[in-house]
Amino acid sequence: MYFCGMNIEHFLSSSLSPIINELFGLTTNPNDIILQKTKKEFEGDYTLVTFPYIKAAKATPEKTGELIGEQLLKHHSSVTQFNVVKGFLNFSLSNDFWLTEYKSISQMSNYGIKEANSSGKQIMLEYSSPNTNKPLHLGHVRNNLLGYSVATIIKTQGHEVIKVNLVNDRGIHICKSMIAWKLFGNGETPQSTGMKGDHLVGKYYVEFDKAYKKEIQTLIDGGATKEEAEKQAPIMLQTQEMLLKWEANDPDTIDLWKMMNGWVYDGFGVSYKKLGVDFDKMYYESNTYLLGKEVVQEGLTKGIFYKKDNGSICIDLTNEGLDEKVVLRSDGTSVYITQDMGTAIERFKEFPKINQMIYTVGNEQDYHFKVLFKILAKLGYSWANECYHLSYGMVELPEGKMKSREGTVVDADDLMDGMVATAKETTKELGKVEGFTTEELETLYQTIGMGALKYFILKVDPKKKMLFDPKESIDFNGHTGPFIQYTHARIKSILRKFEGNLQSILISDHITLHEKEKELIKLQYEFPYILEESAKTFNPAVVANYIYELTKLFNQFYNECPVLKEENNTIKEFRIKLIDSTASIIKNGMTCLGIDVPERM
23 to 10, 498, 578: CA distances (angstroms): 20, 53, 40
Can you tell me the distance from the alpha carbon of 202 to that of 196, in angstroms, rounded to the nearest whole number? 10
Count CB atoms within 10 A of the CB of residue 497: 9
Angle at 228 between CA 225 and CA 230, to 5 degrees: 110
At residue 398, φ and ψ (nearest 5 deg) are -50, -25
Per the CB < 8 A criterion, the answer to whether 87 and 62 are in contact is yes
395 — phi, psi (to 5°)?
-105, 130
Per-residue pLDDT tens digits for 297-316: 999 999 999 999 999 999 99
Burial of 387 (0-12, 13-18, 19+ CB in 10 A): buried
Distance of alpha carbon 259 from the chain centroid:
33
Strand 35-37 to strand 46-49: parallel, antiparallel, or no bridges (unpaired)? antiparallel
- The 3-state DSSP class for residue 200 equals helix
Cβ atoms 307, 300 nearer than 8 A:
yes
CA distances (Å), origin 180, targets 77, 207, 238, 244:
78, 6, 10, 16
Q: What integer pLDDT is reported at residue 8 of this predicted model? A: 85
Return averaged pLDDT per consecutive 10 residues of the chain, 601 residues in all.
54 93 94 91 94 95 96 93 95 95 92 95 97 94 98 98 97 96 97 97 96 97 96 96 94 98 98 97 93 93 95 95 94 89 96 97 97 97 97 82 53 93 90 85 96 97 91 89 96 95 92 96 96 97 98 98 96 97 98 96 87
Give, as one character, the DSSP assignment of residue 335: -
Residue among 73, 64, 62 at smallest CA distance from 26: 64
List, as one string, the DSSP characters of 551-572. HHHHHHHHHHS-STT-S-HHHH
CA–CA separation, 83 vs 100, rounded Å? 24
- In 3D space, the residue among 395, 449, 392, 399 whose CA is nearest the CA of residue 422 turns out to be 449
In one-letter notation, the amino acid at residue 489 is A
The CATH classification number of 8-93 equals: 3.30.1360.70
Sign of the torsion angle spanned by Cα atoms 207, 210, 214, 216: positive
Using the CB atoms, write b or e for 176-188: b if 16+ within 10 Å.
Answer: bbbbbbeeebeee
Angular region, 158: left φ>0, alpha ψ -120 to 50, beta rest: left
Just give the CATH number of 426-592: 1.10.730.10
The whole-number pLDDT of residue 218 equals: 97
Using DSSP bridges, classify how beta strands 88-93 and 79-85 pair: parallel, antiparallel or unpaired. Answer: antiparallel
> What is d(CA 577, CA 600) in angstroms, rounded to the nearest whole number?
19
Instruction: Report how many helices (DSSP H) and strands (DSSP E) the chain contains, helices first.
Output: 23, 14
Q: What are phi and psi of 281, to 5 degrees?
A: -155, 140
Helix (H) or strand (E) holding 314: strand 313-316
Which of 165, 123, 426, 418 lies closest to 272 in space, CA to CA?
165
Question: What pLDDT sits at residue 471?
Answer: 82
State phi, psi for 396 to the nearest 5 degrees: -125, 160
Domain boundaries, the chain: 8-93, 171-271, 293-333, 426-592
| 35-37, strands of its sheet edge to edge | 35-37, 46-49, 88-93, 79-85
pTM above 0.85, yes or no: yes
Helix 336-350 × helix 292-302 angle, to 10°:
100
Burial of 353 (0-12, 13-18, 19+ CB in 10 A): exposed
* Contact call for residues 485 and 447 (beta carbons, < 8 A): yes
Q: What is the pLDDT of residue 5?
A: 39
